[in-house]
Amino acid sequence: KYFHSTSLKSQVVSLEYEDSPLSFFVFLPNDDQTVEKLISLLSRAELNKTVESMALTDVDLYLPKFKVEGEIDLIPTLNKSGVHDAFTSEADLSGLTNMKNLYVKKAFHKVVLEVDEEGTTAAAATAVQATFYSSRRPVTFKANHPFVYMIYDRISHMPVFVGVMIDPTQ
């Protein structure tokens, strides 16, 4: 799917992951737009408006190959959310197991996103590109300057992963 957003001054393309409510989005700023300004404009309302405006379109898509890996320690976030006892000897995990004296030592979230000629993979999800034929000339989408990418959940209407490609030529 494709959309040219005048409010974001960007081209937007999406690829849906097979058998999944997730989509891979790329927001490519126009020549008169910076990626920093694009990020500042990308509110939840603007994102929802963009997603709703996406349409099946013939697109000549040029994306660089890239792989992103990251790991986030969840314990500080869980502590801020009020979850404390699970990480101490005072933990009561009896609802999960019969084992005594059990507590959580580490909690982390690992992300792997890979984009190549075959499409994009995120964890166990794979995006496929459907071809939509029309008599119109295809739109050219050439991600050869900084852009924003995200994995978006179409059920919760929320991004689950967001990144910025600073130099797609490397």
| Mean pLDDT to the nearest integer, 30-45 | 96
Instruction: Tell me how crowded residue 8 is: count the other CB atoms within 10 A of its CB.
Output: 24
CB-based burial label for 19 (10 Å; 0-12, 13-18, 19+): exposed
- Identify which of 56, 57, 1, 60 has the alpha carbon closest to the alpha carbon of residue 25: 1
Residues 76 and 151: their CA atoms lie apart, in Å, by 24
Mean pLDDT score of the chain: 84
What pLDDT, on the 0 to 100 scale, is given for residue 110?
78
pLDDT at 114 over 80: yes
**Could you report the per-residue pLDDT of 133-160, keeping only the tens digit for each?**
445 688 999 999 999 999 999 999 999 8
Q: Which domains does the chain have, with CATH numbers?
A: 1-63+127-170 (2.30.39.10), 72-109 (no CATH)
